[in-house]
Amino acid sequence: MSNPTLKKKDFETLSHFRYQVRRFLRFSEEAAHRHGITHLQYQLLLHVMGLPGREWATVSELAERLQSHHHGAVSLVSRCEKLGLVERQVGRKDRREVEVHLTPKGRELLNVLAGEHRDELLQMQGIFHVPGAGEL
């Protein structure tokens, strides 16, 4: 599509979608805060556990998943490590790489927070549907 003319309903659909995304992100920020961590720390824990096929992540993978610079991911890992939520290990295939693993404390916290997030998404189910919305 090259620069299509949008209709009023298209703007309403986009606005509704952004509103619901923001509501969920706000919920996530507040849930993480209630449990004593930041929303970025929660996201880091989630991405460590959420990579397909394994239960650890490299710092580079975390930077990509968080859409941050490598040094920002390193700092975030350090903060989570100080809280006892993750630990670093030397890479299995490449000893120059750093693997980030959840500690038992990190797993427990992630389980609680991820459960709350799942429940919130289930409550929001259907909210993203806008009756009569145009195709985007």
Q: Are 44 and 80 in contact (CB under 8 A)?
A: yes
Q: For 14-55, what is each residue's pLDDT tens digit?
A: 999 899 999 999 999 999 999 999 999 999 999 999 999 999
Q: For 97-121, what is each residue's pLDDT tens digit?
A: 889 999 999 999 999 999 999 999 8
- Whether the pLDDT of residue 1 is over 70: the answer is no
Q: Quick one: pLDDT at residue 129?
A: 53
Angle at 44 between CA 81 and CA 52, to 5 degrees: 120
Q: What is the CATH number of the domain that holds 52?
A: 1.10.10.10
Residue whose pair of structure tokens reads 């998943």 in the numeric block: 65
Q: For 48-75, what is each residue's pLDDT tens digit?
A: 999 999 999 999 999 999 999 999 999 9
Closest among 105, 107, 90 to 48, alpha carbons compared: 107
Q: Is residue 131 part of a domain?
A: no
Q: Quick one: pLDDT at residue 133?
A: 47
Q: Is residue 90 part of a domain?
A: yes
- Whether the pLDDT of residue 88 is over 90: the answer is yes
Which residues form the domain of 51? 20-124
Q: Is residue 14 part of a domain?
A: no
Residue 135's pLDDT band (cuts 50, 70, 90): very low
Q: Is residue 71 part of a domain?
A: yes
Task: Note the pTM of the prediction, 2 decimals.
Answer: 0.85
Number of domains in the chain: 1
